A and B are shown apart, each in its own frame.
Chain A
Amino acid sequence: MTETTSKPGQTEVWITGIGLATSLGEGLDANWAALQEKRINVDEKGFAPFLVHPLLPVSFDSQIPKKGDQRQMEAWQRIGVYAAGLALDSAGIKGNKDILSKIDMVVAAGGGERDLNVDTGVLVAEAKGANAPGFLNERLMSDLRPTLFLAQLSNLLAGNIAIVHGLGGTSRTFMGEEVAGADAARIALARIASGESDIALVGGSHNGERKDLMVLYEFGDYNLKNSFAPVWARKDHPGFALGSAGAFLVLESRAHAEARGAKPYARLTTVVADLARRKQGGEMAATLEKLWDKLPRRAGKGAIITGATGAEPATSEERGFLGKHADFPVRSTGTMFGHAMETQFPLGLALAALAISRGALFPPNDTTGTEIEMQGAPTQIVVVGAGHWRGEGMALVEAVS
Chain B
Amino acid sequence: MTAQRDKLGRPVVVVTGMGIMTSLGAGKTDNWAKLVAGESGIRTITRFPVDGLKTTMAGTVDFVSVDPFSSTGLSERMAELVTQEALEQAGIGARGDFPGPLFLAVAPVEVEWPQRRELGRAVGRTDFTYDDLLNISGGGKFTHWHHRFMFASVADHLADTFGTKGSPISLSTACASGATSIQLGVEAIRRGETDAALCVATDGSVNPEALVRFSLLSALSTQNDPPQAASRPFSKNRDGFVMAEGAGALVLESYEAATARGAKILGVVAGCGELTDSFHRTRSSPDGKPIIGCMKKTLADAGMEPDQIDHINAHGTATPENDKMEYNTTSAVFGDLAQKIPVTSNKSMVGHTISAAGAVEAIFSLLTLEHQRIPPTINYDTPDPTILFDVVGNKARDARVTAVMSNSFGFGGQNASLILTREPA
Contacts and interface: CB of A to CB of B under 8 A. Distances in A.
Contacts of B279: 163
B170 A175 contact: yes
B290 to A, nearest CB: 7
B50 A219 contact: no
Interface in A338-386: none
Interface residues of A, number: 87
A144 B171 contact: no
A127 interface: yes
Give the most central of B167, B275, B412: most A CB within 10 Å. Answer: B167
A132 B166 contact: no
Contacts of B320: none
Interface in B266-285: 274-282
Interface in A159-217: 159-160, 162-163, 166-177, 179-180, 182-183, 186-187, 190-191, 194, 196, 211-212, 214-217
Interface string B357-375: 0000000000000000000
A214 B133 CA distance: 10
Given A144-B216, A211-B134, A221-B139, A177 B151 contact: yes
B281 A163 contact: yes
Given A155-B410, A175-B151, A216 B169 contact: no
Nearest to A116: B130
A212 B116 CA distance: 11
Interface stretch (A82-90, A146-154, A243-251): A146-154
Interface stretch (A14-22, A33-41, A133-141): A133-141
Interface string B109-153: 111010011011101011111110110011110110111011110
Interface string A109-136: 1110010100110011011100011111
A103 B365 CA distance: 30
Interface stretch (B60-68, B155-163, B232-240, B245-253): B155-163
B300 interface: no
B174 interface: yes
A310 interface: no
Interface stretch (B25-33, B207-215, B395-403): B207-215
A375 to B, nearest CB: 35
A2 interface: yes
A110 B151 contact: yes
Give the most central of A136, A194, A219, A389: most B CB within 10 Å. Answer: A219
A167 to B, nearest CB: 6
B412 A155 contact: yes
Contacts, number: 257
Given A133-B49, A215-B137, A221-B140, A127 B123 contact: yes
B391 to A, nearest CB: 30
Nearest to B274: A170
B332 to A, nearest CB: 17
Given A105-B276, A155-B412, A163-B281, A214 B134 contact: yes
A150 B281 contact: yes
A162 B279 CA distance: 8
Given A160-B281, A163-B279, A215 B171 contact: no
Contacts of B49: 133-134, 136-137
A156 interface: yes
A77 B231 CA distance: 33
A124 B131 CA distance: 13
A137 B51 contact: yes
A274 interface: yes
Contacts of A137: 49-53, 208, 212
A66 interface: no
A389 B167 contact: no
B155 A176 contact: yes
B108 A215 contact: no
A116 B116 CA distance: 12
A155 B174 contact: yes
* 10 closest A-B pairs by CB: A134-B51, A159-B412, A2-B166, A220-B146, A123-B120, A176-B152, A273-B167, A133-B49, A134-B52, A218-B137
Interface of B: 49-54, 101, 106, 108-111, 113, 116-117, 119-121, 123, 125-131, 133-134, 137-140, 142-143, 145-147, 149-152, 155-156, 159-160, 165-174, 180, 184, 187-188, 191, 193, 208-209, 212-217, 274-282, 290, 410-414
21 contacts: A1-B165, A2-B165, A111-B109, A123-B128, A128-B127, A137-B52, A140-B212, A141-B215, A150-B217, A150-B281, A153-B172, A158-B412, A166-B278, A171-B274, A175-B151, A175-B171, A180-B170, A211-B130, A219-B138, A219-B142, A275-B167
Interface of A: 1-4, 50, 72, 105, 109-111, 114, 116, 119-120, 123-124, 126-128, 132-138, 140-141, 144, 146, 148-150, 152-156, 158-160, 162-163, 166-177, 179-180, 182-183, 186-187, 190-191, 194, 196, 211-212, 214-223, 273-275, 277, 387, 389-393
